[in-house]
Structure 1
Amino acid sequence: MELHNATGLVTGANRGIGAEFVRQLLARGAARVYAATRRPGTISGDDARIVPVPLDITDDAMVAEVARVAADVDVLINNAGTVTFQNLVTGDLGAIRLEMATHFWGTLSMTRAFAPILARNGGGALLNVMSVGSFQVFPGNGAYAAAKAAEWQLTNSTRLELAAQGTHVLGLHLSATDTDMLAGIDMAKNDPADVVRDALDGLESGADEVLADADTRAVKALLSQPPATMYAGVSM
């Protein structure tokens, strides 16, 4: 996918990885980037190519309205997310449902709304931002991991379903990254600029998947092993 002169839409665009996607798309010569967020007034930058739009991806009416407004999009980046740090057995069910509503149902809603738009605009590309949590769970993040695992298979399925219309679907998986979401956690973190650069390189090269760091690559390599191998060092 050639990003020069492309028209992109980034969800969760007001901070972190989303804001970095907006910045780097513009740096690669995008003609326009719709910066979608629940708080469009927080979108920074004075580049006239940035178009802030209000969006909560869990609200079907808002998704439909964004699809109506942004009918020229040929690159959709599903980045919006949440993390509630809930165990599945003992955690708050409302928070667990929010994880699935955001990462699975919200991503699916955006994909369904924009698939015909991408087709009309020549096929284009769709990128889903996921996580090492798509492959591995730790105590305390069961809701997030379950939702990201569901989004992973959503990505694989829609890659197959949209191939006939010429839409390139890329899955991005990353470990801890230096954003507001993990601001209070003391641990080694990726630089969002590096993650986004690798992801956009993957879009331009036609990759199906980008594993953004060594931790994510190591964890995915363990998927063919017995679960005890992956979880040998996990405190129960």
Structure 2
Amino acid sequence: MTDITGSVVLVTGANGGIGTRFVEAALARGAAKVYATARTPRTWDDERVVPLTLDVTDPASIAAVVEAAPDVTVLINNAGANTPTPGILSHTDDEIRANVETNFFGPLFLARAYAPLLSAHGGGTAIVDIHSALSWFAVAGIYSATKAALWSATNSLRLELQPAGVQVVGVHVGYVDTAMAAGVTDAKTDPATLVADVLDALEAGEHEVLADETSRQVKAGLSAPLEALYPQLAAR
């Protein structure tokens, strides 16, 4: 388990709806410092927040952040990107690469960069990766593919870092009430509720968060025949 009180937290994508809630909730739970990172950092009204510039697709930017923030004890990989339409075949090379760089390589390379520093503490440190229910449900095309890749990488990181006492938490959730899902009419999770569930799980020593009924249902359906998850296959 990882105690937020007294921790030093780094949040990627801190300007967004979920990222902002992570910053606020970490402070409310007694974090000593929060590095709020984004491509264009914003100002905050709490002296415990340190804004840092970070482009998760740029190795030099990652290296600069690790140098500027070597005292991190909790890394929250929240930054993500999506495409305006689902699918893989319909997207350009640049769109596909942007999703892979942001949703997979970025959090993986950040975790790799911070792993030695987190491991050196001998316990009480953590990495949180924000996946999606779409990690297990391919209807979002390239977005689903990158989130599935991150889920797999998180499982590997968990096994590799467990001996050093680094807790690795994977988070699955459906739609969240943020700008990314502004056009969605289905039920959405309040980002504050999502973040509270994630930090509760972190402090309880858990490895995975299924944050809504969509995530629970999709995971449960993985053991069923493929046609049950994708009825359109049976129709053909």
- Residues 106-125 of structure 1 aligned to structure 2 (within 5 Å): 106-123=106-123, 124-125=125-126
SS of 2:231's partner is: coil
Q: Residues of 2 paired with 1:211 and 1:233: CA distance?
A: 26
Aligned to 1:199: 198
Aligned to 2:179: 180
Structure 2 distance, partners of 1:10, 1:198, is 16
Distance 2:87 2:185 in 1: 21
| 2:34 match | 33
Q: 1:65-104 counterparts in 2 under 5 A? A: 65-84=64-83, 85-104=85-104
Question: What's the counterpart of residue 53 of structure 1?
Answer: 52
Query: Do 1:126 and 1:167's aligned partners in 2 also have CA atoms closer than 8 Å?
Result: yes
Q: Distance in 2 between matches of 1:233 and 1:22?
A: 41
Shift of 1:86: 4.0
- Matched positions, count: 232
CA contact (8 A) 1:86 1:95 kept: no
TM-score by length of 1: 0.95
Alignment partners' CA distance in 2, 1:120 and 1:33: 20
2:31 maps to 1:23: no
Specify the SS of the correspondent of 1:171.
strand
- The residue identity in structure 2 corresponding to 1:13 is A
Q: Distance in 2 between matches of 1:60 and 1:121?
A: 24
3-state secondary structure, aligned to 2:79: coil
CA distance in 1, matches of 2:87, 2:97: 12
Residue 86 of structure 1 contacts residue 96 of structure 1 at CA under 8 Å; is this kept in 2? no
Please, what is the CA RMSD of the aligned residues?
1.5
State the 4+ residue runs in structure 1 displaced beyond 4 angstroms: 233-236
Cα distance in 1 for partners of 2:158, 2:214 equals: 25
Please name the residue that 1:230 is paired with. 229
The alignment partner of 1:222 has SS state of helix
Deviation per CA, 1:186-229: give whole Å up to 9, x if none: 22211001100000001000111000001110010000111110
TM-score, normalization by structure 2: 0.95
Structure 1: distance between partners of 2:93 and 2:148: 18
Question: 1:20 and 1:122 mapped to 2: Cα distance?
Answer: 28
* Aligned residues with identical type, % of pairs: 47
Unaligned runs of 5+ in 1: none
Task: For residues 75-123 of structure 1, give each alpha carbon's deviation from its aligned partner in whole angstroms, at most 9, with x where no partner exists.
Answer: 0000000111341122222111111111111111101111011122334
